[in-house]
Amino acid sequence: MYNSKVIGTGHYVPQTVITNDDLAKTIDTTDSWIQERTGIKERRWASKELGETASTMAVKASEIAITKAGLEKKEIDFIVFATLSPDYYFPGGGVQIQHLLGMDTIGALDVRTQCSGFIYAISVADQFIKTGMYKNILVVGSEAQSGFIDKTTRGRNMGVIFGDGAGAVVLTRTEDNTKGVLSTHLHSEGKFAEDLALTSPNPSNWTDIIEKENDDLTHFPYMNGQFVFKHAVTRFSEAIIEGLEKNKVTSEDIDLLIPHQANLRISQFVQRKFKLEDRQIFNNIQKYGNTTAASIAIALSEAVEEGRVKENDLVVLAAFGSGFTWGSVVIRW
């Protein structure tokens, strides 16, 4: 059986920077309130004028990743695209990426597991490569969430958190089973789906919702914040431990942990639990907010650019989010 390894990373974030002070102009909030609860200082929002969408940003991140992989677009065999904010309700955005990149009629698969999307996407791509079905797979996470969040005081608990952006990696086949993706671990618990969800519009309740008055909030994302936080710190830890035990290593062996950038307080809790030094964890939520399926992909790309990831490093990716879904990926770089 083959193994898969990352040979190229890339990311793109919109140029429009929205600071906490910017939000405070229209929302009853302050920079200190947001930073204290989330660690976020600013985030990026996609520009309608520039035509920035989940798919177009994904393409920009993908082009960088493919170039860094030393490949041509025609050498990509398959696309796995993770997003909760596709350009269309259907078809999925993977086919738009295939088209905008000018690729041949390769397959494109969409993953809808929200904050865990990139973890799930890596796992899917890893299995396709391990079985020998494909050699080079483009894995992308991209979000344009600023268009549907409630930017008023009513929705500030969600509105101050989320940002836009895209990240991508290229996975390729290797026969060296000591390098690359060592293991992936995926979980879900659907009974808590509505504790972090956007429930309308949906196919059974579409135009009625659109035509309703403003007091219907089901077309805005909802989060049971404290409940989600408590589950997140537990599931993050479980997913990391599962990956470490599978590969017979300990937290001391981790060279870099890249958690999903949901909330800096969650990352700090996990860091303390595993007694990780600052050099062993990577956070960029301060700059970008929560970019959902794109967050780990963007962080991984930045970490590689900054020299935080070196050959033979043990890199752990972990996420928790809506669904609830959670998981981890353990990589020997």
Per the CB < 8 A criterion, the answer to whether 112 and 84 are in contact is: yes
- Work out the widest C-alpha separation in the chain, in whole angstroms: 59
Which tens digits make up the pLDDT trace of 241-270?
Answer: 999 999 999 999 999 999 999 999 999 999
CA distances from 215 to 149, 157, 202, 219, 330 (A): 15, 17, 18, 10, 45
pLDDT exceeds cutoff 80 at 185: yes
What average pLDDT does range 279-288 have in this prediction? 98
Distance CA 262, CA 225 (A): 11
pLDDT of residue 46: 97
Q: Is 290 among the catalytic positions?
A: yes
pLDDT band at 31 (very low <50, low <70, confident <90, very high): very high
The catalytic residue among 20, 136, 260, 284 is 260
Sign of CA dihedral 269, 274, 279, 282: negative
The catalytic residue among 3, 20, 136, 290 is 290
Q: Is 247 among the catalytic positions?
A: no
pLDDT exceeds cutoff 90 at 226: no
Domains of the chain, CATH where assigned: 3-177 (3.40.47.10), 181-332 (3.40.47.10)
* CA 32 from centroid of its chain's CA atoms: 26
Which tens digits make up the pLDDT trace of 32-69?
Answer: 999 999 999 999 999 999 999 999 999 999 999 999 99
The catalytic residue among 20, 115, 136, 284 is 115
Which tens digits make up the pLDDT trace of 102-153?
Answer: 999 999 999 999 999 999 999 999 999 999 999 999 999 999 999 988 888 9
pLDDT of residue 207: 59
CA distances from 101 to 28, 62, 96, 325 (A): 42, 9, 8, 30
Q: Is 231 among the catalytic positions?
A: no
